[in-house]
Amino acid sequence: MTSPPAAGPPTPDLPVPGWAFSGYFVVERFLDAAQVAGVLARIEDYVATHELPLVHREHARRELHYRVIDGLRVERDLTALQPLCADVKARVEARLGIRLELLADRRVAVNVNVTPPGGSYRWHYDRNPVTALLYLNAVEGGTLEVCPNYRLSTGRHSGVLGRAADRVLQSEPVRRRIGHTVSLTPRPGDLVVMRGDRCLHSVSEVTGPADRVNLVISFDDAERPRVQAQDGDELDTYLYSQDQVRSADPNYRSPGQAPRRP
């Protein structure tokens, strides 16, 4: 594994007016070097002793190619991560001034993404309003690229017009012309928090010899949950297996699926 670079001064936690924040923010040194080493060691031990699915989905703009420890495995086998997730939740709630809850879909709520050399993560929006990404090691490549608050629609339940708008805005010529793309290379221990369902984001190809490892925590609005447990059945299949899916893009509901309650 690449040695972590020297950490810079921490970013102060400035108040943000609820959902109106600028799309993403970074909490530097959320974990110190010793804490990062402890978490990473647990995950590396797990990876060394368990077979993880290699998920590979071709896509014109950037392929999805990664390994993942899903939330059910985390819940069962990596219970030591639970206090860390609670700390992340408390910090994000304090920063935003809102109450959050983990996604009802336990498979999605807490994941460990392990992106191998040559791997990447396609451009996408998340199904949930707040996503927290905790970085655990430094690698070559694997840059997080974000178009903050880029989406016009209301997400994967937005209907035909919303999906059409998403397709146009995600096209590379349009994104390069009107999108404001921010490239982030967080240090180990840094926490990135974004409006997952509003920020178009992707992970560029890992070019070095080491796996890129980060913890992904997905939150819903505790006051008015937006994501139901059954929302992601086909999307879960797409993200966590190599099984065939019916939809051309399971980031949206398949035709004939019942609409979500308001």
Interval 173-221: pLDDT, tens: 677 777 789 999 999 999 999 999 999 999 999 999 999 999 999 999 9
Query: Which pair of tokens denotes residue 2?
Result: 């690449």
What pLDDT score does 230 carry?
A: 61
Nearest to 7 by CA among 198, 247, 189: 189
- Between these two residues, 76 and 155, which has the higher pLDDT value? 76
pLDDT at 117 exceeding the cut of 80? yes
Measured distance CA(69)–CA(13) in Å, rounded: 30
Measured distance CA(191)–CA(84) in Å, rounded: 12
- Between these two residues, 249 and 72, which has the higher pLDDT value? 72
What pLDDT score does 3 carry?
A: 40
R_g (Cα) of the chain, nearest Å: 17
pLDDT mean across residues, the chain = 85
Name residue 219's amino acid. Answer: F
CATH architecture entry for 28-237: Sandwich (2.60)
Average pLDDT over every residue of 151-174: 68
Task: Specify the 3-state DSSP secondary structure of 80.
Answer: helix
The pTM of this model reads 0.85
